[in-house]
């Protein structure tokens, strides 16, 4: 199989869209990601996957802190900004949770400390211990087959 075929296969799995953020030397850095999942309830752990050539990799290693921000369906623009697909006219305004920058109005904001890290292939997996969280109501932004999507509830059908 070639790389494109593998990427297409992985794209069949619908995911939520997240922005990972951290702050170094007074500057906040963010990147769009969809490689995120929960790992453990006790302790409360999550995992994110960062490509070895991403600028965010060294920033998280330096700060040992980051946030995961689950975007709502109204935040496609934020996703595109942090994926480098769209330019902003003004500086992006972040909020803070446990002294970690978070995306304003995200459905879920998780502040994390690096608990462990593992290099696997061309990515580093950061295990984050969740130190704080904030939740909002709303529907998530979904990514599937290279496109943004909305979550739709299926009708209950009696069998």
d(CA 96, CA 75): 18
Spell out the SS3 assignment of the chain. CCHHHHHHHHHCCCEECEEEEEEECCEEEEEEECCEEEEECCCCEEEEEEECCCHHHHHHHHHCEEEEEECEHHHHHHHHHHCCCCCCCCCCCEEEECCEEEECCCCEEEEEEEEEEEEECCEEEEEEEEEEEEECCCCEEEEECCEEEECCCCCCCCC
Q: In terms of C-beta density within 10 A (0-12 exposed, 13-18 middle, 19 or more buried), how is residue 63 classed?
A: middle
d(CA 46, CA 33): 14
Per-residue pLDDT of the chain (159 residues; tens, 9 = 90+): 899 999 899 888 899 999 999 999 999 999 999 899 999 999 999 999 999 999 999 999 999 999 999 999 999 999 999 998 888 767 789 999 999 999 999 999 999 999 999 999 999 999 999 999 999 999 999 999 999 998 888 887 766
Tokens of 111: 């502040």
């Amino acid at each position: 199989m070639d790389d494109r075929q593998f990427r297409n296969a992985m794209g069949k799995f619908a995911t939520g869209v997240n922005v990972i953020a951290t702050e170094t030397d007074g500057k906040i850095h963010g990147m769009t990601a969809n490689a995120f999942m929960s790992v453990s309830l006790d302790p409360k752990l999550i995992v994110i996957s960062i490509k070895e050539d991403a600028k965010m990799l060294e920033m998280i290693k330096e700060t040992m802190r980051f946030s995961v921000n689950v975007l709502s369906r109204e935040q496609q623009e934020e996703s595109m900004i942090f994926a480098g697909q769209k330019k902003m006219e003004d500086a992006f305004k972040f909020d803070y949770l446990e002294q970690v920058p978070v995306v304003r109005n995200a459905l879920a904001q998780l502040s994390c400390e690096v608990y462990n890290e593992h290099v696997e292939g061309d990515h580093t997996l950061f295990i984050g211990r969740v130190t704080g969280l904030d939740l909002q109501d709303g529907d998530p932004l979904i990514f599937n087959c290279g496109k943004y999507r909305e979550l739709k509830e299926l009708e209950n059908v009696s069998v």
